[in-house]
Structure 1
Amino acid sequence: MFWMSFLFALCFVLIHLFSDKLLFLNNVPRSRFLSISGGIAVAYVFIHLLPDLNEHQQAVEETLTTEGLSFLESHIYLVALVGLTLFYGLERMVKVSKRKNNAAGPGKTNSGVFWIHIGSFFFYNAIIGYLLITEEFADVTGMVFYFLALAVHFIINDFSLRERHERDYDKYGRWLLSVAVLVGWVVGSLYEVKPFIVSFLTAFLAGGVILNILKEELPEERQSSFGAFLTGVASYTLLLLII
């Protein structure tokens, strides 16, 4: 499992470095692959990640009660809400920046917004790399499903970030996000943190995945395919329930 997690971490890196070669993703109407990928990622969050939080709830309750934070003991999903809200705020910040710059020339975010946006996704990717090795998967199949769901999610994120930041993403962003996955994996392989922290990271990731998928699927200009999205949701849900 250790070496498999390392192999998957390297595959995540390769996805970030070479996703720009998937030229068909730029199609309008929106590539069906992106909609299917979004469905797969959302299915994984609701069928696996969120239910997994219940397994950590007892440790969370014990820890928070000991530290005088018992009022939070039944609200691990608040962390997921924080993740969703944070990435929504970041998305709005990027759109406002591009709108302002459009008035003066080509629609490109300013440097400060770019680094804040990429910095947030650096943390996001580090969590994914960290959970890749610290999550207690029931077996190899569980790790494979985690990898597949997050791999297609990375492709969607790359498409979105490249569209918003253009050359800056290819020049700096994709390299930093690739490093982030490895940083998370290395930290997870060297240090063991308290179970309730893993629960919080999982919840935060779940909220982030939901927002990052829906922001790509819902805008009218995307001309997304509901049929393809539904196919991704239904097929991956069925696989998770059967295997």
Structure 2
Amino acid sequence: MLWLSFALVIGLVLLHVFSKRMTFLKTVPRSRLLSAAGGISVAYVFLHLLPELGVFQENLRGEIENSGWSFLESHIYVVAMIGLILFYGLEQMVKSSKRRHKGHRPDEPRDGVFWVHIGSFTLYNALIGYLLVREEYESEWGMVLFFIAMGVHFITNDKGLRETHKEDYDKYGRWLLAAAILIGWGIGVIAEVSELAISILTALLAGGVILNVLKEELPEERESSFGSFCMGVVGYSVILLLI
């Protein structure tokens, strides 16, 4: 499935590169497609990523009993919560920076916050690229479903990052995020990270996805479509359960 994973990685890269041209992302009320995309991402987290953490926890039981990571034997979901907290902290840092510099360009955070924010999403994307080739999928359909969930999630993230960082995101950010996916995939092709590391990174990813989806869906000014969000959750859940 190496060639399929490469084709799907290129698809994710193109989503970042051409997201600027997706005019439906700029509409208010919020595009129904974006709300459905949020639902798809949530369904994937709760029906695939979180259950997978349970499998990781079982596999790790006893293997790390005497190590500093022994708490993961029964608390790997704590790491997912930490992932959510980390991304929430980053969002608050960006908002704080914008408030401090209201006298300058209020639409652009300063103090290097842009690079910290984009750097975190660069690692986030690299992990997704790695998992696309190293995840133990039951079939090619499993890989395609991962691609769909992360693809629509990227579209939502791109919109939020572009609104926050404006020209800086289009000039630097989207290219860094696109490159990170390829780099993560390349690392997955030539090397295999330990199961412990993957379990931690997957947990952080799950927390990050949950926070980023809720961040885009919950604010009142987004005027999100609850119906479309539910359709995304239910429709994608049915597909996951059938496959």
TM-score by length of 2: 0.96
Are the counterparts in 2 of residues 12 and 151 from structure 1 also a CA contact under 8 Å? Answer: yes
Matched, 1:95 2:92: no
How high is the sequence identity, in percent, across the aligned residues?
58
Tell me if 1:108 matches 2:108: yes
> Is 1:79 the counterpart of 2:79 in the alignment?
yes
Query: What do you get for the CA RMSD once the two structures are aligned?
Result: 1.2
Greater mean deviation of Cα atoms: 58-67 or 230-239: 58-67
One-letter code aligned to 1:5: S
User: Structure 2 unaligned runs (5+)?
Assistant: none
Provide the residue aligned with 1:209 in structure 2.
209
SS of residue in 2 equivalent to 1:30: coil
* Structure-2 change in CA distance of 1:174 and 1:163 (3 Å): same
Aligned to 2:51: 51
Aligned equivalents of 1:70 and 1:205: distance in 2?
A: 20
Paired residues of 2:53 and 2:202 also in contact (CA < 8 A): yes
Mapped contact 2:42–2:210 kept (Cα < 8 A): yes
SS in 1 for 2:112: helix
* Contact 2:9–2:185 (CA under 8 A) maintained in structure 1: yes
Cα distance, 1:59 vs structure 2: 3.0
Measure, in 2, the Cα distance between the counterparts of 1:202 and 1:105.
37
Instruction: State the alpha-carbon separation in 2 of the partners of residues 230 and 237 from structure 1.
Output: 10
Is contact 1:102-1:108 (8 Å) kept? no
- The structure whose residues are more often helix, as a share, is 1
Residue 151 of structure 2: aligned partner = 151
Is the deviation greater in 189-198 or in 36-45?
189-198
Q: What secondary structure does 2:29 align onto?
A: coil
Distance 1:109 1:46 in 2: 33
Cα offset for 1:60? Answer: 1.9
What's the counterpart of residue 173 of structure 1?
Answer: 173
Q: Give the superposition deviation at 1:33.
A: 1.0
Aligned to 2:62: 62
Question: Counterpart in 2 of 1:132?
Answer: 132
Provide Cα deviations, 1:138-186, integer angstroms capped at 9, x if missing partner: 0001001000000000000111100000000000000000110011111
1:73 Cα shift? 1.3
Asked whether 1:35 is paired with 2:35, we answer: yes
Equivalents in 2 of 1:108, 1:32: separation in Å? Answer: 28
CA-CA distance at 1:68 after TM superposition: 4.7
TM-score, length-scaled by structure 1: 0.96
Contact 1:43/1:237, CA 8 A, preserved across alignment: yes
What letter corresponds to residue 123 of structure 2 in structure 1? F
Say if 2:198 is the partner of 1:198.
yes
Is the counterpart of residue 123 in structure 1 residue 99 in structure 2? no
Deviates more, 1:136-145 or 1:198-207: 198-207
Conserved? CA contact 1:101–1:107, under 8 Å: no
Conserved in 1, the CA contact under 8 Å of 2:107 and 2:165?
no
In structure 2, distance between residues paired with 1:159 and 1:148 = 17
Tell me, in whole angstroms, the C-alpha distance in 1 between the residues paired with 2:221 and 2:100: 20
Shift of 1:61: 2.1
Distance in 2 separating the partners of 1:27 and 1:223: 10
Gaps of 5+ in 1: none
Distance 1:140 1:69 in 2: 33
Going from structure 1 to structure 2, the CA distance change for 1:241 and 1:14 (only over 3 Å counts) comes to same
For residues 195-221 of structure 1, the C-alpha deviation after alignment (integer angstroms, 9 at most, x for no partner) is 122111111110000000000001111
